[in-house]
Amino acid sequence: MLVIFDCDGVLVDTETVSAKVLRDCLQPLGIAVSVAEVLTLFRGKSIAVCAEQVAALLADSEPYQSWPVLEREAFAKEFWAKVQQETLVAFESGVAPIAGVRDVLQSLREQGVAFCVASNGRHEKMQMTLTHTALADYFPSANRFSATDVAQGKPAPDLFLYAASKMGARPSECIVVEDSPSGARAARLAGMSLLGYCPAEPLLPRAGTDDLMRAEGAKLFRHMDELLTLL
């Protein structure tokens, strides 16, 4: 068995911080969105898809609406690179591990169960967040996989299939732990078992997300201390 963890929202509690940074970066562009809307639109998406989503928002707003499509897309890519840098700065102020996840990782290590992390985020981002949360020791570089390693990030299955191959596991032997519908779809397309970490979130009503996760075949759980039993 190989357990493949998503990073943001599963190992490290970064989702809300990232959403606030993006909200604040969009405001000077005249795009007003709430943290909940940011989470709905961007959560779990690859860097390329996030840039496309920004371009779509710009297309609905002046003066960007009148720009040529290619110019708008180029601007969106540059903007997203800035958002990534601002997010890393925000993380330096401190991020926390998901409650209970360290006990899960320690138990898996003691039991000799193989595990790794596969994230749509860049390696630099994983390095920072895993280090700040004191989880880096559980994930040596050979056990970290980023969407930048493959042709397409989640929701395509490429990243999970790549991680399994590098870890020497067949897809049927893998259990993915995800918190986003995008990651859930990637796991389903990869032919892997799926556990959906879906805690109660005051900023984002869970009902819609829960339904999307179940539609991808996820077995949902609310607290990380439930995970070992499900595995």
Residue 38 CB-half CA count within 13 A: 20
Query: Which amino acid would we find at residue 221?
Result: F
At 205 the pLDDT is: 55
- Residues 60-86: pLDDT tens digits? 888 888 888 888 888 888 988 888 888
Q: How confident is the model at residue 30 (pLDDT cuts 50, 70, 90)?
A: confident
Preceding omega of 63 cis (within 30 degrees of 0):
yes
At 89 the pLDDT is: 84
Within 8 A by CB and 6+ apart from 105, the residues are: 115, 135, 138
Q: Kindly compute the dihedral angle of the four CA atoms of residues 21, 24, 27, 33, in this order, to the nearest 10 degrees.
A: 70
Q: How confident is the model at residue 15 (pLDDT cuts 50, 70, 90)?
A: confident
Q: Rounded to an integer, what is the distance from CA 33 to the centroid of its chain?
A: 20
Average pLDDT over residues 91-108: 91
Tell me the CA distances in angstroms from 62 to 34, 52, 71, 171, 186, one per residue in order: 19, 17, 14, 46, 35
Alpha carbons 9 and 11: distance in angstroms, whole number: 6
Alpha carbons 211 and 31: distance in angstroms, whole number: 28
Q: Where are the alpha helices (DSSP H) in the chain?
A: 15-26, 35-42, 47-59, 69-92, 101-111, 123-132, 158-167, 181-189, 206-215, 227-230
Q: Across-strand partners of 195?
A: 177, 219
The pTM (predicted TM-score) of the whole model is 0.80
At 80 the pLDDT is: 85
Q: Which residues of 167-185 are buried (b: 16+ CB within 10 A; e: fewer)?
A: bebebeebbbbbbbbbbbb
Contact 76, 51 (CB under 8 A): yes
